[in-house]
Amino acid sequence: MKQHLFGKTLTELQEIVVELGLPKFTAKQITDWLYKKQISSVNEMTNLSLKARDLLNEHFELGLTAYTKVQVSVDGTRKYLFPTIQNKFIETAMIPERERKTVCVSSQVGCKMGCLFCFTAKQGFQGQLSAGEILNQLKSIDEVNEVTNIVYMGMGEPFDNLDEVLKSLEILSAEWGFAMSPRRITVSTIGIIPGMLTFLEKSEAHLAVSLHTPFNEERRKIMPVQVAYPIDEVVEEIKSWDFGRQRRVSFEYILFEGLNDSPAHVNELARLLRGLKCRINLIRFHPVPGTPLKSPGEKTIQQFKDALNNKGILTTVRASRGEDIYAACGLLSTKELVK
């Protein structure tokens, strides 16, 4: 099978063109076509010589994949379904706001982390996405030219696919790539410390950590990663890192009725995060079949937010979006798998 050009870095493309006997500057021309323009074939790279296009066509293909399904919510959120390896599927969400359009991309096919509240976990791990497959979720949606922000919060754990995620981040932020500011990109993790530290060193994108409870034993029951990487160790590593003025760290906190929404949780969160400049994003739980978890009432959510803000932790409640189109991550792709 031919290799894909889309998802290659400038360095990789330079190696390719030199190997093909083409001038090294051809690589920069190719990146312009791949990441700055809309094309559907190598033949559309009209500033390349006919010889160059013939050589590329002989060994490579573009590597873009169209979505197979899109669901549109009454609130404007769109959920795209993309085919991937071995007839599996991944999901991509486009979330419109007043002056922003945020794309939520997947980094893996399924997930091996086993979080109790995540429907993607019920698929199990089915494969890694290449940098090209990650970026294809941006390039192949209808709103490609309107996207302002990217979040790695879709299917999978980004730091369990670290090399391809870092490669995709390089292409997103490089001048020769999409030229997007890393301050418009956020990568979410459940707290895989080695991958997190490498990401902090090699990327300037924002970091988000899925926290969900500050108590070790409680977190272990809903997030098996707690055994290998306890949340207090994750937070201590973050506290030791210099984020500078513009780079942001935030914590995602899904509220579950009767599990993690008490005053004791507020107090322990304040203790855990003391001295760290950060934000907590509270998230209403979208029901997932097969789990006993449910979201608390609106009064409890607002009281929890106010209590954290009174402790000096900037806390907001994330607006629920796309509830009428399988909002929970993994629902749409799982339904497609079991047809």
Task: Please give the positions annotated as active site.
Answer: 91, 329
Q: What angle do CA 298, 262, 241 make, to 5 degrees?
A: 100
Pairing of strands 149-152, 101-104: parallel
Q: Residues of 278-296 as b/e, b for ≥16 C-beta within 10 angstroms? A: bebbbbbbbebeeeebebb
What is the SS3 string spanning the chain?
A: CCEECCCCCHHHHHHHHHHCCCCCCHHHHHHHHHHHCCCCCHHHCCCCCHHHHHHHHHHEECCCCCCCEEEECCCCCEEEEEECHHHCEEEEEEEECCCCEEEECCCEEECCCCCCCCCHHHHCEEEECCHHHHHHHHHCCCCCCCCCEEEECCCCCHHHCHHHHHHHHHHHHCCCCCCCCHHHEEEEECCCHHHHHHHHHHCCCEEEEECCCCCHHHHHHHCCHHHHCCHHHHHHHHHCCCCCCCCCEEEEEEECCCCCCCHHHHHHHHHHCCCCCCEEEEEECCCCCCCCCCCCCHHHHHHHHHHHHHCCCEEEECCCCCCCCCCCCCHHHHHHHCC
